[in-house]
Chain A
Amino acid sequence: MDFRINSLLVSIIVLVNVLLSGCVTYQIAKYVEGDELIVPKEQLEVGKTTLEEALTVLGAPNKVAKVGVENLLVYERALLYRNRIKVGIPLSELIRGSFDIAAYGTLVRYDSLALFFNTQGILSHKTFEKGSTHPYLKTLFADKQ
């Protein structure tokens, strides 16, 4: 029993020493660019909505481009999540070298609305992808690219 307690104590002391020496760190990071994208579907009708109406409803686009004979307006929000764990045990006092291992996962998801307008300024087609609804871990480790 005494031996068990002593082993447990030693393990705890070692663990606490390793943890408190900053050898194990866990990082959580988040980066957001752009405001939340709310798409009023009823106000964006293909063949009907004008460029002026779209600008009134959604404001200035993040990107503007010429695509063939049409104009493209892109509204976008980016969300980055990163988790990183690092474990390092300095052994330089015992041997030449140290044990150091780290793992991280970064996922950037985009909410993106693309609106195509013809030269008359009428919405010809639109596409919306809400990437932020995909869960972090499931998306990060999914086989599908």
Chain B
Amino acid sequence: MRLTRYIAIISMITTLLSGCLVIGKNKEFQPFDSTELDKLVPGQNTATEVTEIFGAPSEVVELANGNAYVYKRTVTKGTVCWLVLLTFGNAEKQHDQLVFFFDLGDTLTHYGLSLDADKAKYGFPD
């Protein structure tokens, strides 16, 4: 009788916990190399020189006193787990971004860099 109960409980637990786990990764790739920033000096380089080094920007934004060139790439990591009664879904999207600011004469004035794409991770919703 006791054994039957154990078997029934174990069967129920294994049934409830049986499921499927899927992980996936999406990448929006832009081949810029942030180490190339060492070649640039604000006040000296032009927009043409920047695009020669980093290629075509993802986006160009007109500003009040010039333009901004945006380089962006993203990594998304997703996890989905199906159980009998429960489904968990988790996705995390992180960016690597490089933004160059140019004055009206197309001379580089500033730039900003964020490298967060490697921080995207698989996991469960918390």
Contacts and interface: CB of A to CB of B under 8 A. Distances in A.
Contacts of B62: 66
Contacts, number: 103
B1 interface: no
B89 A19 contact: no
B48 to A, nearest CB: 20
A127 B113 CA distance: 21
A64 B99 contact: yes
Q: Looking at chain B's contact residues, is the secondary structure mostly helix, strand, loop, or mixed?
A: strand
A28 B125 contact: yes
Contact of B89 (A22, A30, A70, A119): A30
Given A62-B95, A71-B64, 14 more contacts: A20-B84, A28-B86, A28-B89, A28-B125, A30-B125, A31-B93, A32-B91, A32-B92, A34-B116, A35-B114, A55-B99, A60-B97, A70-B64, A82-B89
Contacts of B99: 55, 60-61, 64
Range of interface residues on chain A?
35 or more
Interface of A: 16, 19-20, 22, 24-35, 51-52, 55-56, 58-62, 64-71, 81-82, 119, 121
